[in-house]
Amino acid sequence: MSDLDRQGQGLGRRPALVLVDMIEGFTNPECPLGSAADDVVAACGRLLQAFRDRGLPVFYTTVIYRDERQARVFRDRLPALNVLTPDSRWVRVDDRLRPREGEPVIEKRWASGFFGTDLDERLREAGADSLVVCGLTTSGCVRATAVDGLQHDYKVVVPREATGDRNPQAHEANLFDLNAKYADVLRLEDVIDGVAG
């Protein structure tokens, strides 16, 4: 079966940056959910600076489970998720990407930054017309957030170097699939140039 024809969408006039789960639980290999992600942190940092320089909206996501009932099936499937409690260091945004005042951290329970959250409402309030989605992990929360971004009618860009996964094959396969159907997967430099205008 041949690939579908597709049209690149690029960025709109007012893109928002969504840093997906750039929290210690995923950026620190000491956590059972984590991996060595220094390159991804550095790439996300460059994006973050570009968005701040232009005064464009920035949003973060984290995963927090506040009681035993929340996302029960997901947590039964992946028991390592149970470390993501409100009092755990693992739910905090990595210090290298620390949010500034006015940069919201959206608390979620499942893969997508949109599912069960007010992310869409906040994006609309900020006047965002497109998204740059980066973070961890490509095959899980980045993919889910990018797909839901499209399903909420945003143009979505995923910077290749600003995403990562514990499994390199899953990383590449998901970037391929995202680019084929849901988002523009672009080089980091091209995204930064596009944001800089």
| Model pLDDT, residue 153 | 97
- Let me know if 44 is a catalytic residue: no
The answer to whether residues 146 and 133 touch, using CB atoms and an 8 Å cutoff, is yes
User: Which of the following is catalytic: 31, 44, 134, 141?
Assistant: 141
What is the per-residue pLDDT across 39-88, written as a single tens digit (0 to 9) for each? 999 999 999 999 999 999 999 999 999 999 999 999 999 999 999 999 99
What is the per-residue pLDDT across 162-185, written as a single tens digit (0 to 9) for each? 999 999 999 999 999 999 999 999
Confidence (pTM): 0.96
Q: What is the mean pLDDT of the chain?
A: 96
Domain edges within the chain: 15-196
Is residue 178 exposed (0-12), middle (13-18) or buried (19+ Cβ within 10 Å)? buried
CA distance 33 to 63: 12
CATH number for the domain running over 15-196: 3.40.50.850
Percent of the chain topping pLDDT 90: 94
| Model pLDDT, residue 196 | 87
